Amino acid sequence: MFKGSFPALITPFKDGALDLDTLKKLVDWHVEQGSNGLVPVGTTGESPTLSHEEHNLVVEEVVKAAAGRIPVIAGAGSNATAEGIELIRHAEAAGADAALVVTPYYNKPTQHGLVAHFTAVHDACGLPIIIYNIPGRSVVDMTPETMGELAKLPRIVGVKDATGDLARVAKQRLTCGGEFVQLSGEDATAVGFNAMGGVGCISVTANVAPKLCAEMQAATLAGDYAKALEYQDILMPLHIAIFLEPGVSGAKYAMSKLGLCSPEVRLPLTGLSDATKAKIDAALKHAALI
């Protein structure tokens, strides 16, 4: 179920409020474009600035709009275990297919604390769980050994790995087993990640170029890395340009150029500089999207 291209879905806003009509249209568009699943209310969905009510509503609306056509992996992470349990229970009740649970940020738990946190969240619900390991944001890094311990739990099924360390894929195959679902959390190394044993990417760029990202993933999963590299050459300028400033701002600006949504983001994020806009425009032209 969890293979291929999974857009880390943006949350569209209009005059500061959720734009649910646009959100539903985006879900339909991603299905049409060939995305293999959706990941709402992650960091790219601006979850840090959503209220709990907004967070839950986005999950409900995405599940409803997807209507079983593609799986929905709902963001359900928190640096407070009790809050994470509330979020994952809601995701389960809303009909999500799985949950993405980030390593607790800011608190800096030990590896023992990570095991305790994920075990508690796991035991509180019946959803499959994808661990989100992103030390650059959470300031804590789950080791392959700790992940292997958690992989013994029946519903901890995979990882979104945003370490940028391709050797991690091989190390996690050793500790977690070959069936453990490894999804890249970094667009720029997604092809190499799959070559090392990964099976997909939870992607920011796939918000903008879902068809290209899905086709690139399909090429890697078919073992056609020559074709995958052709796609990578098309997409790499976009990967680079989108992340010159926070990826949410870059993705929303690019999507606004395609007429998909407003570029509006919530503070403390802001709109892009003119220099970054120009580079995204050039990358969109390079990918023949405009």
Active site residue 277: no
Beta strand 129-133 with 200-203: parallel, antiparallel or unpaired? unpaired
CB 245 within 8 A of CB 26: no
Tell me which of 160, 252, 277, 279 is the catalytic residue. Answer: 160
Tell me which of 14, 25, 132, 285 is the catalytic residue. Answer: 132
Residue 131 class from Cβ within 10 Å (0-12 exposed, 13-18 middle, 19+ buried)?
buried
What are 128's two structure tokens?
């499959």
CB 133 within 8 A of CB 114: no
Active site residue 132: yes
Catalogue the active-site residues: 132, 160
